[in-house]
């Protein structure tokens, strides 16, 4: 009876972010950027996010027609660390696509 219940359906973006390959991509982006926010220099590990940039996560899902985790696993652009950057939570919130917000 919970109003948040969607019939047991987990959103695709959440499924992808739980994949070991996504966790490796995230770690690889952090290592490349020396675990430092590329905008402000923050280096507090619990406050860092890996952001898909310049092509956003949602843009890649839409453009490459990713409909399931199998599609995601075979999409090289999703796992390309050159399309990622390390941002602290505050700097990430300032990006136009943070949680799909529009500026």
Strands 48-52 vs 84-88: parallel, antiparallel or unpaired: antiparallel
Q: Say what the pLDDT of residue 103 is.
A: 42
pTM: 0.83
Per-residue pLDDT of the chain in tens (103 residues, 90 and over written 9): 677 776 668 889 999 999 999 999 999 999 999 999 999 999 987 799 999 999 999 999 999 999 999 999 999 999 999 999 999 999 999 998 776 554 4
Closest CA to 43 of 91, 6, 1: 91
Q: Say what the pLDDT of residue 8 is.
A: 67
- 8 A C-beta contact, residue 48 and residue 88: yes
Element at 51 (helix H, strand E)? strand 48-52
Closest CA to 54 of 88, 91, 82: 82
Could you give phi then psi for residue 86, rounded to 5 degrees? Answer: -95, 125
Residue 9: C-alpha distances to residues 6, 14, 15, 80 (Å): 6, 11, 10, 28
Q: Say what the pLDDT of residue 45 is.
A: 75
Q: Say what the pLDDT of residue 55 is.
A: 94
Q: Say what the pLDDT of residue 98 is.
A: 78
């Amino acid at each position: 009876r919970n109003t948040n219940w969607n019939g047991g359906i987990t959103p695709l973006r959440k499924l992808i972010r739980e994949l070991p390959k996504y966790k490796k991509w995230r770690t690889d982006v952090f290592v490349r950027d020396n675990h430092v926010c590329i905008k402000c220099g923050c280096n507090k590990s619990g406050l860092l996010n890996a952001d898909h940039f310049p092509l956003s996560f949602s843009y890649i899902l839409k453009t490459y027609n990713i409909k399931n985790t199998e599609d995601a696993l075979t999409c090289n652009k999703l796992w390309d660390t050159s399309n990622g950057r390390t941002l602290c939570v505050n700097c990430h919130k300032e990006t136009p696509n943070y949680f799909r917000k529009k500026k």
